[in-house]
Amino acid sequence: MTFLIRIAITFIFLSSCSSLNFTYPYYDFWQNALFRNNINVTDAYIESQEFSFIHVSYKKNDAIFVLSEIENEVFTWVGKDFEKIKTYRGLIVETFGIDPDIRIDMKDRSKLLNSNFIENAYFFDINIDDPSIFALPIEYRLVKKDKLNTNKYSVTFKKYSDVLRWKNNDKIIFDFDTGLPSYSSISISPIEPNINIDFYYKY
């Protein structure tokens, strides 16, 4: 009983803190640890949408981004507060308002586009705004390609940076019929978790 009382007091304290709009780091930490913004994408939700969209899971939040533009196979997705994620065949090539924001150098991005993203290895520079890193050299190497079922296959790339000792796996799942990605898990920073994206297309 004493234990339950302590839990109740703890939640009352947290609730009172939120009503006072405290911004102390320890409160933010516990708030992030206890609560998550979940979005459940159901068949009914998909059917109700007029435009193609992505379901984004990053850190402890989910969000819906709507397709706003396609240029040279680069898809631009926009969030409710005008955040942007640009993808090329599931790979994130640029972000705005995501924290941190990243951008693959345009000359390197054109190499990806010209090769149709089917080579075994790529080398490109990436800019990160927080911490501020300019032209960080990245080696992007294909390590695995699997047929998942009759409709889908996955590719896994190893992302390396000797400068920061950054090493991470990016995974992208493609649809055989359309050639479009249905899911991707992409690292944008050596100190942050992957961004996980589910893609939903409206034709």
| Domain CATH code at residue 99 | 2.40.360.10
Tell me: do 50 and 147 sit in the same domain.
yes
- Asked if residue 173 lies in contact with residue 180, where contact means CB atoms within 8 angstroms, the answer is no
Q: What is the mean pLDDT of residues 103-129?
A: 81
Helical pair 25-34 and 2-19, crossing angle rounded to 10 deg: 120
pLDDT at residue 8 is higher than 80? no
Tell me: do 118 and 143 sit in the same domain.
yes
Distance separating alpha carbons of residues 31 and 16, to the nearest angstrom = 12
Tell me: do 6 and 83 sit in the same domain.
no
Bridge-partner residues for 119, per DSSP?
none
- Of residues 108 and 147, which shows the higher confidence score? 147
Tell me: do 26 and 65 sit in the same domain.
no
Nearest to 93 by CA among 119, 78, 113: 113
Tell me: do 55 and 15 sit in the same domain.
no
Of 28-37, 100-109, 162-171, the least confident: 28-37
pLDDT at residue 13 is higher than 50? no
Tell me: do 13 and 103 sit in the same domain.
no
Tell me: do 47 and 17 sit in the same domain.
no
Bridge-partner residues for 183, per DSSP?
173, 198
**Residue numbers of the domain that contains 82:** 43-200
Indicate the pTM of the whole model: 0.80
Band of pLDDT at residue 16, cut at 50, 70 and 90? very low
Strands (E), the chain: 53-58, 61-71, 74-78, 84-88, 91-96, 102-104, 121-129, 132-147, 152-161, 166-175, 181-186, 195-200
pLDDT over 70 for what percent of the chain?
A: 80
Band of pLDDT at residue 37, cut at 50, 70 and 90? confident
Cβ neighbours of 104 (radius 10 Å): 23
Tell me: do 23 and 107 sit in the same domain.
no
Tell me: do 77 and 158 sit in the same domain.
yes
Tell me: do 52 and 133 sit in the same domain.
yes
Q: What is the mean pLDDT of residues 23-51?
A: 69
Please tell me the predicted confidence (pLDDT) of residue 121.
87
Please tell me the predicted confidence (pLDDT) of residue 2.
41
Band of pLDDT at residue 17, cut at 50, 70 and 90? very low
For the chain, how many structural domains are there in total?
A: 2
How would DSSP label each residue in 117-154? T-SSEEEEEEEEETTEEEEEEEEEEEEEEEE-SSSEEE
pLDDT at residue 98 is higher than 80? yes
- Of residues 117 and 158, which shows the higher confidence score? 158
- Asked if residue 148 lies in contact with residue 171, where contact means CB atoms within 8 angstroms, the answer is no
Tell me: do 64 and 11 sit in the same domain.
no
Tell me: do 189 and 96 sit in the same domain.
yes
Please tell me the predicted confidence (pLDDT) of residue 35.
55
